[in-house]
Amino acid sequence: MDTITLNNGIPMPMLGFGTFLMNGAQCEESVLAALRSGYRMIDTAEAYGNEEAVGRAIAKSNVPRQELFLVTKVNFRSYENARETVKTSLKKLGTDYLDLVLLHWPFGNYYAAWRELEQMYREGTLRAIGVSNFEPDRLIDLIEFNEIAPAVNQIETHLLCQRRAEREWLEKYHVRHMAYAPLGQGRRNEMFEAPALVEVAKAHGKTPAQTALRFLMQSGVAVIPKSVHEERIRENFDLFDFALTAEEMERLTELDAAAPMIGTPEDPALVEAAMKW
């Protein structure tokens, strides 16, 4: 497994397993399949309501805890109560420490939550702390007015929305870029059918999905694809036996339409929707 070093020196896998919209037995089976396939980083969240199922899969897998890199997120509705929320996540996941805890969205009192995460980091309960869905302005503000800088910003990123401008800011502030929805949530046929992607994939005997994930990893972006199908879970892990050429990387870079599907916290429609979450 390729890893990337976080700003506090700890290595993080470049490839992990996403668990959004998975629950109960399906989540447990999918996470078990992922662990069997070799994934060691698992991404969950308080808001997904599946931390217990992820915990059950981990327990059943018999993978030693120290081999895993567990990521969860505190929902913005819990920001005034972040310590208790993280403690509940620990219990549900069946562990006494977490590798990375993120603030899920920059809504509400995220400064209060950040300071609590900083404290839990100092205490050793959290090996790294970070954020998600932060645009550069809020990220820089958080860095400048707190003691510990986020190690990671997890943001929507895929071939059609590569976040290159955001990545420059992340690099400048030593925050690692983690892509969520790296396969466009399976909703972007125009991505999987783009001639450039199909051709590059064919040249390597790989699928468009594998090539899209490889492109992000080769750009220095960690990816957490999700699937509930074992075959796809394995397919999405099989990314380490090929490399794209500089010319292929350039071709795929040109697919960037800089258009997020989910929106950003600056988008009033998204904020309005979030208030109902």
Ligand X SMILES: NC(=O)c1ccc[n+]([C@@H]2O[C@H](COP(=O)([O-])OP(=O)(O)OC[C@H]3O[C@@H](n4cnc5c(N)ncnc54)[C@H](OP(=O)(O)O)[C@@H]3O)[C@@H](O)[C@H]2O)c1
Q: Which residues bind ligand X (CB under 6 A)?
A: 18-20, 43, 104, 132-133, 154, 180-186, 209, 224-229, 232, 235-236
> Nearer Cβ to ligand X, position 9 or 152?
152
CB of residue 88 vs ligand X: minimum separation in angstroms?
18
238: which 2 tokens?
């099989």
- Residue keyed to tokens 């993280």: 86
Q: By the 8 A CB rule, do 177 and 185 touch?
A: no
Residue nearest to ligand X (CB): 18
CB of residue 246 vs ligand X: minimum separation in angstroms?
25
CA gap 103, 123 in Å, rounded: 18
Q: By the 8 A CB rule, do 15 and 220 touch?
A: no
> Nearer Cβ to ligand X, position 89 or 123?
89
Which entry of 39, 48, 110, 180 is annotated as an active-site residue?
48
CB of residue 102 vs ligand X: minimum separation in angstroms?
7
211 to each of 19, 181, 197, 214, 226, how far by Cα in Å?
Answer: 21, 15, 7, 5, 15
Could you tell me the strand order of the sheet in which 176-180 lies? 16-18, 41-43, 69-74, 100-103, 129-132, 152-156, 176-180, 222-223
169 to each of 15, 69, 157, how far by Cα in Å?
Answer: 22, 25, 15
> Nearer Cβ to ligand X, position 183 or 201?
183
CB of residue 134 vs ligand X: minimum separation in angstroms?
10
111 annotated active-site? no
Closest to 89 measured CA to CA, from 41, 126, 40:
126
Longest dimension (CA), the chain: 51
CA 64 from centroid of its chain's CA atoms: 22
Q: What is the DSSP letter of 228?
A: S
Strand partners, 4: 12
CB of residue 51 vs ligand X: minimum separation in angstroms?
12
* Catalytic residue numbers, as ranges: 48
